[in-house]
Structure 1
């Protein structure tokens, strides 16, 4: 089996409401969809949701890189040969993890369909039967976030991830309002997205959060400040999760060596796809670091890929892949039984892509074939 055609689509996924984090507000979600076709007529889909602040890529640069470099390079490649695939992509471009993730995911989808098995069976088989879904609250006024949390409790949600990172006083007011709204027992995870900047500011916030029963605190300091994470971890009783500070094996080695986090948020868009995500999970497991599969707010395609990794590995205790629940229109049909997710057993990613919707949301499309010079 070999790849004979690569289609790359630049799309914009419409959000029900804007998604607001510490560094940006998204009115819609720009995404890149890759469609691989093999010489046997098998089609695999992948996705890249790039983020200038996290992956170091843009929507435009990701499209161009796949169009001009990565896409032509994988034509003729056997999608089953994942180690060789990543070695080839790494030799072409340094980092660019989201772009590589799109091709990686599409290859896994195609291989699963070829063999007639779900992607999780390619990763060691299914371990988890289902995961609870955490509702993500984007940044808003305290009363607004509290009201949204109340509504989600009525729908059955039992855990929340709060986006904060504006300033300590207003952020603590947001957290306190949500805690009062949902009661003392439901899980609240606080994601600062680097917004508190350094350890000193974070420790001030932690002091003000006493008594609010925070499940864990995610990436309060700048991504490259692992020493700040070490200081916070040593001085706080709140479990600490690394996110933007973890992309590749090099960062994971340093996190383990320094003891910089209790938990790791592994995202396919940060590390390059399914194959490298499993390597990070194995490293974390050996070091006793609990893992979560996180999201850059992907469609059904990217979200399903993350779920397959999480369902296959024991070390994952939580998932945060709620992109499809935030879109008013999606290209795929990943099914949620809110507040849980239980993957189907269909071959590949188990997602049917609606080509009509894909075309409707597409801003730009290029087709790459064997022998076609761009």
Structure 2
């Protein structure tokens, strides 16, 4: 089997409401949909969601990287030879993780369709039967976030990921307001997205949060400050999760060696796709570290890819893949059974992609042969 062509669609995914994190407010999510074609008539879909603050890539730059740099070197390759394919991409361009992730995901979709198996069967088979969906609360006023959380509890949600990372005192008020509103039995995870900058600010915050029974605090310090995570971990009993600070195997090795986190958040867009994500999960498993599969607010394509990884590994104990629930229009039909997610046994990624909607949402597109 050979890759014979690549279609690229640069799209804007419309959000129901703006999504607010510490470093940006999104009115829509820019994404790139990839369709890989093969000489056997089997095609696969992938997705690349770049983020200047996390992956170090822009939407426009990632599109050009796919079109001019990566497409020419992978056309003619066998999509089933994943180790070799990643070596070719890595030798061609340094980093560019979301661009590589899009190609990797499309290749897994092709392999699954070729073998008539869901992608999770390619990764060791299904371990989990279902995952609880965590509702993500974007940054707002304390009462607004508390009201949204209370409304979601009525819909059946039992866990929340709170986006914070502005000013410590205001963030503490946000977290306390949500806890007071939803009660003690609801899980709350706090994602700072680097917003508290350093260990000193973080420790000030944690002194005010110790009585709130939080599941964990995620990435309170700047991404490269792994030593700052070590300092915080030594001084708190609230579990810590690394997200932006984990990109690939080198960072995972340092995290393990320094005991810098209790949990890690693996994102396909940060590490280069499904194949590298499994390597990170294996590293973490050896070290006894639990993992979460997160996302960059991706469509059904990227979200489905993340779910296939999550469902296949015992040490992946939580997911945060809620992009399709946030969009007013999506390119695929990944099905959620709120407050749970369960995968089907359909081959490949297990979703149907509407090229009509892909074209409708496209800002520009190309085909490379």
Question: Shorter-chain TM-score: which interval?
Answer: over 0.9
Looking at structure 2, the residues matched to 363 and 43 of structure 1 have their Cα atoms a distance apart, in angstroms, of 22
Partner of 2:303: 303
| Aligned-pair CA distance for 1:141 | 0.4
Looking at structure 2, the residues matched to 125 and 79 of structure 1 have their Cα atoms a distance apart, in angstroms, of 20
Partner of 1:16: 16
Looking at structure 2, the residues matched to 22 and 251 of structure 1 have their Cα atoms a distance apart, in angstroms, of 23
Q: Deviations over 1:93-141 (max 9, x none)?
A: 0001000000000000011001100000000111000000000000000
Is 1:257 aligned with 2:257?
Answer: yes
Q: Deviations over 1:204-251 (max 9, x none)?
A: 000011211111000000001011000100100100000000000000
Is 1:292 aligned with 2:292?
Answer: yes
Looking at structure 2, the residues matched to 351 and 64 of structure 1 have their Cα atoms a distance apart, in angstroms, of 27
Coordinate RMSD, CA, aligned: 0.4
Partner of 2:355: 355
Partner of 1:82: 82
Looking at structure 2, the residues matched to 205 and 294 of structure 1 have their Cα atoms a distance apart, in angstroms, of 24
Looking at structure 2, the residues matched to 281 and 11 of structure 1 have their Cα atoms a distance apart, in angstroms, of 30
| Aligned-pair CA distance for 1:72 | 1.4
- Residue 85 of structure 1 aligns to a residue whose secondary structure is helix
Provide the TM-score with structure 1 as the length reference.
0.98
Contact residue 292 and residue 318 of structure 2 kept, 8 A: yes
Looking at structure 1, the residues matched to 261 and 208 of structure 2 have their Cα atoms a distance apart, in angstroms, of 21
Is 1:321 aligned with 2:286?
Answer: no
Q: Unaligned regions of 5+ residues in structure 2, if any?
A: none
| Aligned-pair CA distance for 1:71 | 1.0
- Residue 367 of structure 2 aligns to a residue whose secondary structure is strand
Partner of 1:242: 242
- Residue 113 of structure 2 aligns to a residue whose secondary structure is helix
Looking at structure 2, the residues matched to 117 and 256 of structure 1 have their Cα atoms a distance apart, in angstroms, of 34
Looking at structure 1, the residues matched to 65 and 6 of structure 2 have their Cα atoms a distance apart, in angstroms, of 13
- Residue 62 of structure 1 aligns to a residue whose secondary structure is helix
4+ runs deviating over 3 angstroms: none
Looking at structure 2, the residues matched to 323 and 291 of structure 1 have their Cα atoms a distance apart, in angstroms, of 19
Partner of 2:63: 63
Partner of 1:152: 152
Looking at structure 2, the residues matched to 35 and 314 of structure 1 have their Cα atoms a distance apart, in angstroms, of 31
Looking at structure 2, the residues matched to 105 and 245 of structure 1 have their Cα atoms a distance apart, in angstroms, of 23
Q: Deviations over 1:188-214 (max 9, x none)?
A: 000000000000100000001121111
Looking at structure 1, the residues matched to 181 and 51 of structure 2 have their Cα atoms a distance apart, in angstroms, of 32
Provide the TM-score with structure 2 as the length reference.
1.00
Partner of 1:104: 104
| Aligned-pair CA distance for 1:184 | 1.1
- Residue 298 of structure 1 aligns to a residue whose secondary structure is coil
Q: Deviations over 1:288-341 (max 9, x none)?
A: 111000010000000000000000011100000000000000000000000000
Looking at structure 2, the residues matched to 193 and 368 of structure 1 have their Cα atoms a distance apart, in angstroms, of 36
Contact residue 210 and residue 238 of structure 2 kept, 8 A: no
| Aligned-pair CA distance for 1:142 | 0.4
